[in-house]
Structure 1
Amino acid sequence: MLTRIITGVVGMALAAFVIMQGDWLYAVCAILLSFAAWYEYVSAFEHVGKPLARLVGFVVISLFGTAAWLWGSAWLVAIATLAVLLVFAEAVFRHRRFAVDQVCFSLAGIFYVGFCFAHLILLRFAAQDVVLATPVGDMTLGCAFLWIMFLGTWSSDTFAYFAGSFFGSRRLCPEISPKKTVEGFLGGLVGTTAVVAALGGALGFSVPLMAFLGVLLACAATVGDLAESLIKRYAGVKDSGRFFPGHGGVLDRFDSVMFTAPFVYYFIQVVGLAGV
C-alpha cells in the first residue's frame, strides 16, 4: 500500500509538471508511454503464443505521436494506411510464423495504442492561440481541456469505486470484469458529470454543455476500462505490466484515458470550442 501511495503522489506531481510544461517534453513523454503500452500489449499476446508485429508497431506508433505533435491530425490517415501495408507485408514474408489472426491482433493494437496516445498529444496542443484565465494561472484551451479530461476520468474511476463498494449489487459485465457493478457505473456517471460541469462552469463554459461532456467521459472511461480488461482476460494476465510500482502497467493506468482523450478532443472540435 505504501508503494502504491508513493507512486501515486510522485506520478501525479510529475504528470502535472509535464502537462504544464507542454512543448517537446510533453510530446516525448506521451510517445515514450505509448511505446511502453505497445510493449505491454505485445507481451500479453505473446503470453498466449501469438507473437505480433513488434517492430512495425514501434515504428508506426512513433509516427502517430510525431504527427500529432508536429504535422497535424491529417497525417494520421496516411500513417494508418502505412501500418496496414507494413503489417500485411510482414505477414507475406513471414507467412509460416505470422498468421492472419496475428495480423488482426497487431493492427488492432497499433491503432488502439497509437491513435489513443496520439489524441493525448493532439488535445494538449489544440487551440494554442486561445488562452484561458484559470484559478491556477493562464493556460491554452487545449491544456485546460486536457486537465478536464484527466480530472473527469479520475472522477469516474473514483466515484465508481466508492459507489460500487457501498451500493454495488448488480454486475455490470461479469464475464469481463466481475467487480464492476451497475451502481458503480451510475455513481461514476453522476460524479463525473458534476465534476466536469463544475470545472467547465469555473472556466466560463456552458454548464449544460459541460455536463453533457461529463456523461460522455463517464461512458468512454468505463468502456476503456472494460476494453483493457477484455485483453487481459484473453491473454490470461492480471496486470499489463509493472511500469508503475503498485499500480501495474501503462495500459492499467491509461486504459480509461485512452478512450476519453479522443472523445474530448473531438468534442471541442464539433461544438466549436477550439475556435473561441
Structure 2
Amino acid sequence: MLVRIITGIIGIAAAAFVIQTGGVVFAGFTLLLMLLAWFEYARAFSERGMGLALFTGFVVLGLTWYAAWQRPEYLALAWPLTVLITLLESVLMRSTTNIMEALASGAGLIYIGFPFVCLLQLRGMMPETVFNTDIGSFTFGCAFVWIMFIGTWASDTFAYFTGTAIGRHKLCPTISPNKTVEGFMGSLVGTTAAVAGLGYYLQLPLQEMAVLGLLIAVLATLGDLVESVAKRYVGIKDSGNIIPGHGGVWDRFDSVLFTAPLVYFFVQFVNLLGK
C-alpha cells in the first residue's frame, strides 16, 4: 500500500507538470502513454496465442498522433485506414496473421488510439479562453483535461470507499467481483458533485457540468469493466508492472479510454461558455 501511495503522489505531480505545460511536453507524453498501452494490449493477447500487429500498430498510432497534433485535417482518414491496414495483414501476411488477429489488432488500435487522440486535441482546444483562478490560470483545454482526470479519479475513489463501507450487492460479479451496486451509486453521486463543484469554481453552468459528471461516472465504470473483460479473456491480472503498485498503463488509463472521448465531444456539442 505504501508503494502504491508513493507512486500515486509522484504520478499526480508528474501529471500536473505535463498538463499545465501543454505543448510538445503534453503531446510527447500522450504519444508515450498511447504506445505503452498498445504494447500492453498486444502482449496481453499473446497470452491467448494471438499475434497482434505490434509493429504495424506502433507505426499507425505514431502517424495518427502526428495528424492529431499537426495535421488534424487528415484525422478523418486515419481510423478507416487503421482498420484497412490491419485487415490487409491477414491477406499479405496470411502465414503468420489470421483474420481474428487482424480484427483484434484493428479494434485495439481504435480502442487505444482514439481516446489518446481525443485527449491531445482536448488539451489544445480554445487556447484563447482562459479561466483565471486563485490557484492559477487555465486555458479552456487545460481546464477540461483536469476536469476529465479529476472526474475519473473521483469516480474510482467514491466507488471504492462507498463499496467498501456499505457495498452488499454485486454489480457485475462474473466480470469484476469487487464492484458493487452501492459503490456505483456512490460514484454517480460523488462524481456528479465533484464535477459540478469544479464547474461552480470556474463559473461554468452547473446543470451542464452536473450532467457531465454523471456521464463521466458511467463511462469510467464501463471503461474499467471493458478492460476487466479483456483481462479475464486473456487470463492476466495486470496489463503490466511499469507503475509500481498500480500495474500497467492500460490498467491506469482503462477508464480514461472512455472518459477522454466523452469530455472531448461534450465540450464541442454543449455550450458551456454562453456564447
TM-score grouping bracket, smaller chain normalisation: over 0.9
CA-CA distance at 1:2 after TM superposition: 2.1
Aligned position for 2:114: 115
User: Which range is displaced more, 23-32 or 127-136?
Assistant: 127-136
CA-CA distance at 1:68 after TM superposition: 2.0
- Residue 127 of structure 1 contacts residue 274 of structure 1 at CA under 8 Å; is this kept in 2? no
CA-CA distance at 1:66 after TM superposition: 1.8
CA distance in 1, matches of 2:185, 2:210: 14
Q: Which runs of 5+ in 1 are unaligned?
A: none
Paired residue secondary structure (2:179): strand
Q: How many residue pairs were aligned?
A: 275
CA distance in 2, matches of 1:113, 1:5: 26
Aligned position for 1:160: 159
Aligned position for 2:172: 173
Q: How does 1:1-276 map to 2 (within 5 A)?
A: 1-72=1-72, 74-273=73-272, 276=275
Paired residue secondary structure (1:51): coil
Paired residue secondary structure (1:242): coil
One-letter code aligned to 2:95? R
Paired residue secondary structure (1:246): coil
- Residue 204 of structure 2 contacts residue 272 of structure 2 at CA under 8 Å; is this kept in 1? no
Give CA deviations for 1:241-275 in whole Å, capped at 9, x if unaligned: 01101100001101111111110111110013478
CA distance in 2, matches of 1:244, 1:268: 31
- Residue 196 of structure 2 contacts residue 209 of structure 2 at CA under 8 Å; is this kept in 1? yes
- TM-score normalised by length of structure 1: 0.97
CA distance in 1, matches of 2:80, 2:207: 38
Q: Residues 266 and 78 of structure 1: is their aligned pair in 2 closer, same or farther, counting only changes over 3 Å?
A: same
CA distance in 1, matches of 2:186, 2:163: 8
- Residue 61 of structure 2 contacts residue 109 of structure 2 at CA under 8 Å; is this kept in 1? yes
Paired residue secondary structure (1:178): strand
- Residue 155 of structure 1 contacts residue 188 of structure 1 at CA under 8 Å; is this kept in 2? yes
CA distance in 2, matches of 1:107, 1:174: 29
One-letter code aligned to 1:247? H
Paired residue secondary structure (1:139): strand
CA distance in 1, matches of 2:222, 2:234: 18
CA distance in 2, matches of 1:254, 1:152: 13
CA distance in 2, matches of 1:262, 1:275: 22
CA distance in 1, matches of 2:246, 2:22: 25
Q: Residues 97 and 25 of structure 1: is their aligned pair in 2 closer, same or farther, counting only changes over 3 Å?
A: same
